[in-house]
Amino acid sequence: MSILLNSDTTFIVQGITGREAVNLTKECLDYGSKIVGGVTPGRLGREVHGVPVFDTVEAGCGKPWWPD
């Protein structure tokens, strides 16, 4: 299975408020990655290195992942 990424790829970090994810987020941002949000249940409204935190993946992406 291949994962195709390019310079326009955006992504979210699940569990962004955890110790390892906070470090991963900073390293990715320093590298130039486009992190648009993070997800940790119960942590809505916080920020990690300027990245907004949401309660659910659906809220973080603004739309559901599953087809209609």
Q: Write the pLDDT tens digit of every residue in 37-60.
A: 999 999 999 999 999 999 998 887
Neighbours of 48 (CB within 10 A): 21
pTM value is: 0.80
pLDDT tens-digit map of 14-27: 999 999 999 999 99
CB 34 within 8 A of CB 11: yes
Please give the radius of gyration of the chain, using alpha carbons only, rounded to the nearest integer. Answer: 12
Per-residue pLDDT band at 61 (split at 50, 70, 90) = confident
- What is the predicted pLDDT for the residue at 1? 74
Domains of the chain: 10-61 (3.40.50.720)
CB 58 within 8 A of CB 41: no
Whether residue 68 has pLDDT greater than 90: no
- What is the predicted pLDDT for the residue at 63? 60
